[in-house]
Amino acid sequence: MALMELSARVEYALAALLELTNHLDSSDPLQIKHIALKQDIPYRYLEHIFNTLSRAGIVQGQRGMKGGYWLLRQPQKITLLDVFECFENSRMTEPTQVNLPLTRSIIRNAWQQADQSAKGVLQQLTLHDLSLQRLEQEESSPMYYI
């Protein structure tokens, strides 16, 4: 079991944001239905994810027939921690309570240190970093033709 679980919401949000990252050169917003099909994410679930990302100031939406979403910041400025905290902020380790037995206080302090280390990694990684990793993987993967 992982110390910090990757929820479906965070994974789907990151996959959707990476699609927006690949769409930066376009003047048209990217439609949710396109992202849902490409990433195999349920459309209605993705709508809720984009509402949350919009409220957090990560994306901006445009309504209408040609509506969709854009990134509000450059991919280099959006960290994985930004996205994680949109959906999972309440799951982060709580501060140590006062008046705990010494042993439990030590255990909680260790968990807080692990939590801070995980946050540090997520703070250092950006959408741009993931986009570069994906590009490298795509370039190194052989193409199969039938």
Cα(74)–Cα(58) distance, integer angstroms: 10
Query: Which pTM does this prediction carry?
Result: 0.83
Considering the domain boundaries, does residue 1 fall inside one?
A: no
In a domain, 45, yes or no: yes
Q: What is the CATH number of the domain that holds 100?
A: 1.10.10.10
Residue 2 forms part of a structural domain: no
Residue 145 lies in a domain: no
Show the domain range for 73.
8-140
Residue 146 lies in a domain: no
What's the total number of domains in the chain? 1
DSSP secondary structure of 29-78: PBPHHHHHHHHT--HHHHHHHHHHHHHTTSEEEE-STT-EEEESS-GGG-
Query: How do the pLDDT tens digits run along the chain, 146 residues long?
Result: 455 678 999 999 999 999 999 988 888 899 999 999 999 999 999 999 999 999 999 999 998 888 899 999 999 999 999 999 999 865 444 554 667 788 988 988 898 888 889 899 999 999 999 999 998 888 887 766 66
pLDDT at 46: 96
Q: What is residue 26's predicted lDDT score, i.e. its pLDDT?
A: 85
Asked if 123 and 79 touch (Cβ cutoff 8 Å), the reply is yes
Does residue 115 lie in a domain region? Answer: yes
